[in-house]
Chains A and B, each alone.
Chain A
Amino acid sequence: MDIYLPIAEVAVNAPLIVLLGAFVGFISGMFGIGGGFLMTPMLVFLGIPAPVAVSSMANHVAASSMSSVIAYSRRRAVDLRMGAVLAAGGIVGAFAGVELFRWLRLLGQADLVVSVSYLLFLSVIGGLMLMESLGAILRRRRGDPAPPRRDRRPVWLYGLPLKMRFPRSRLYISVIPPLALGAFVGVLSAIMGVGGGFILVPAMVYILRMPAGTVVGTSLLQIIVTSSLTGVLQAGRNQTVDIVLALLLIAGGIVGAQFGARASSRFRAEELRAVLALIVLLVGLRMGLGLFLTPDEPFVLLSGTG
């Protein structure tokens, strides 16, 4: 069941790509992340040129996030206002990130920055989140009470001006931290070529102090906005979106995302976070390994003439 991809100009096994789309869609729907950091290496491993993999994936991310965000919004688990603020920051950040990336490429340092930011963000975020969530699980097993938060009203949320009410998240905080967070994730997503959900989800929990119930759905809403934007920009500027590849990924992704969104309600928030932390940490370590091990083939062909 091989099928030829007109833009990527390679043949791929169609059922395998659909399954891959479903698997990443499931993870996306369950944890509220786009799953780009999982999908890109797998598509490249299957022989698809990296620029085509990254661009076509944006369509898959948008489709599976759309599929699951509706499921979440029926459960009233999407903070529309917070999502809009994050997305507004994200759009500004994405444009700034594209410029920053071009500047780094001119300096010849883009590769260093990409590799180090992958290693740093994936392993640090994965590690911290794993520790926190395992601690919470252990406490609950032992029946200990949750430790009291030292500062219930941190100054970066409540001390800054431009306060805004977020009724769905039961927050009345300054609009600056979510805007800045959205912009930061936008910059990173432009540089690392991923949606940034794996940064957004823990940041919403630990920095914005959003209730666990609205984090996943709101993150998905922000991901839809940024991934639709990147998908259209990539097609328009680089002509690297392969619609046949996107179609196969979407076919699996939208179904997988439904099951993911459904499954997430069966687990506790800290258990979900522990599994997500483990996935993030493993991918980070795997990428880090590539930086430290001596490669078999020192030369690498890059696609496109740049």
Chain B
Amino acid sequence: MLGPILAVATAALPSPPLPPSPAASAPVISAALTDTTVQVKSDFRGARIVLYGAVFDAAARPSDVVVLIRGPDQPVRLTRKQKVVGLWLNSRPVVFRGAPGFYRAASNRPLDDIATFGVLRRLGAGVDHLPINAPAEQHIETRYGVRDIVVSSLGPDYYDWRRAVVRLKEKSGLYHEDGRGVRFVDRGLFRAEIALPTGAPTGVYRADILLFQDGKPVSSRARTLTVEKVGLERALYVWAHDRPWSYGLAAMAFALAAGWAASAAFRRD
């Protein structure tokens, strides 16, 4: 009879939430971030954010924790060098949609050991399962009497292109998959570190913390993280985008005045 009583109590007092009862049968995961905003200033050199949380499971079944952090979506424009009459030239650019500007998957053991391909694909867990595609290259046609087949004009090279998106983003530190990124520090208690590189895009990030048991997600929590420019950096960015002409004129007027001032200062006579 404890379950319904707790439910009533939670409904009456929405905050602070009561810790999940150890007697409750369903396992529950809970997590929080040490910082919920990252301020980008002139000395911004990237940031480290710690995520910590706990698994509440009375039955103490073997549990896996997966942390997925996605930055704001940024379309990716990609080109491939092709040999044309002996010269290496860029091909027509291909735009991939659905690519987050920042992505990190951390888990206590490699994702492939935690869940099956299908489960990971459905959750978009892991760099190989991100829902990246190139809609402009796709068309739907009927093949062998089967309707609505999605065909990419990139043909069999499509997977090379898609892999290249992930590879290049990994190289610039924006995508990362870490099969040891989540550490259990005590029974049911875990922590993960998120490293944001300097090139991390500004915007709202979403962290999904998933609890897996027997290869299935049984509980999840979502947290948000805001990366924002502050102070002078923000003022300049807003100026450049909201009043681009006055910004451009001011920048050029300053440049010309600086040139004139230097020449006056260096005048020898």
Residues in A whose Cβ lies below 8 Å from that of B168: 297, 299-301
* Minimum distance in angstroms from A225 CB to a CB of chain B: 11
A67 touching B263, Cβ below 8 Å: yes
A295 at interface, CB cutoff 8 A:
yes
* Minimum distance in angstroms from A293 CB to a CB of chain B: 7
Which of A62, A233, A300 contacts B259 (CB under 8 A)?
A62
Residues in B whose Cβ lies below 8 Å from that of A234: 248
Residues in B whose Cβ lies below 8 Å from that of A9: 199, 201-202
Which of A11, A108, A290 contacts B88 (CB under 8 A)?
A290
B88 touching A66, Cβ below 8 Å: no
**Chain B 22-77 residues near chain A, CB threshold 8 A:** 40-45, 75-77
A66 touching B252, Cβ below 8 Å: no
B84 at interface, CB cutoff 8 A:
yes
A301 touching B78, Cβ below 8 Å: yes
**Chain A 223-261 residues near chain B, CB threshold 8 A:** 224, 228, 231-237, 239, 241, 243-244, 246-247, 250-251, 254-255, 257-258
Residues in A whose Cβ lies below 8 Å from that of B202: 9
B145 at interface, CB cutoff 8 A:
no
Residue tally, chain B, CB below 8 Å to A:
59
User: What is the bound-complex CA distance between A251 and B79, given in angstroms?
Assistant: 35
* Minimum distance in angstroms from B255 CB to a CB of chain A: 4
| A62-B259, A63-B255 known; A71 vs B266 contact (CB < 8 Å) | yes
A162 at interface, CB cutoff 8 A:
no
B249 at interface, CB cutoff 8 A:
yes
Residues in B whose Cβ lies below 8 Å from that of A301: 76-78, 168-169
**Chain A 259-306 residues near chain B, CB threshold 8 A:** 290-295, 297-306
| A62-B255, A250-B258, A295-B88 known; A70 vs B263 contact (CB < 8 Å) | yes
| A10-B198, A71-B263 known; A291 vs B89 contact (CB < 8 Å) | yes
B184 at interface, CB cutoff 8 A:
no
B255 touching A235, Cβ below 8 Å: no
User: What is the bound-complex CA distance between A257 and B256, given in angstroms?
Assistant: 13
B260 touching A67, Cβ below 8 Å: yes
**Chain A 35-88 residues near chain B, CB threshold 8 A:** 58-60, 62-68, 70-71, 74
A135 at interface, CB cutoff 8 A:
no
User: What is the bound-complex CA distance between A80 and B240, given in angstroms?
Assistant: 33
Stretch at the interface among B1-9, B111-119, B229-237: B229-237
| A2-B45, A235-B245, A236-B244 known; A258 vs B252 contact (CB < 8 Å) | no
B248 touching A241, Cβ below 8 Å: yes
Which of B77, B244, B248, B267 contacts A305 (CB under 8 A)?
B77
Question: A1: nearest residue on chain B (CB-CB)?
Answer: B43
B240 touching A66, Cβ below 8 Å: no
B143 at interface, CB cutoff 8 A:
no
Question: B264: nearest residue on chain A (CB-CB)?
Answer: A70
User: What is the bound-complex CA distance between A228 and B75, given in angstroms?
Assistant: 31
B79 touching A302, Cβ below 8 Å: yes
Q: What residues of chain A have their CB less than 8 Å away from a CB belonging to chain B? A: 2-4, 6-7, 9-11, 58-60, 62-68, 70-71, 74, 108, 111-112, 115-116, 224, 228, 231-237, 239, 241, 243-244, 246-247, 250-251, 254-255, 257-258, 290-295, 297-306
Lowest 3 CB-CB distances: which A-B pairs, in order?
A: A235-B248, A66-B259, A254-B262
A-B contact pairs, 9 of them (CB 8 A): A4-B42, A6-B229, A62-B256, A67-B260, A243-B254, A247-B254, A295-B81, A300-B78, A306-B77
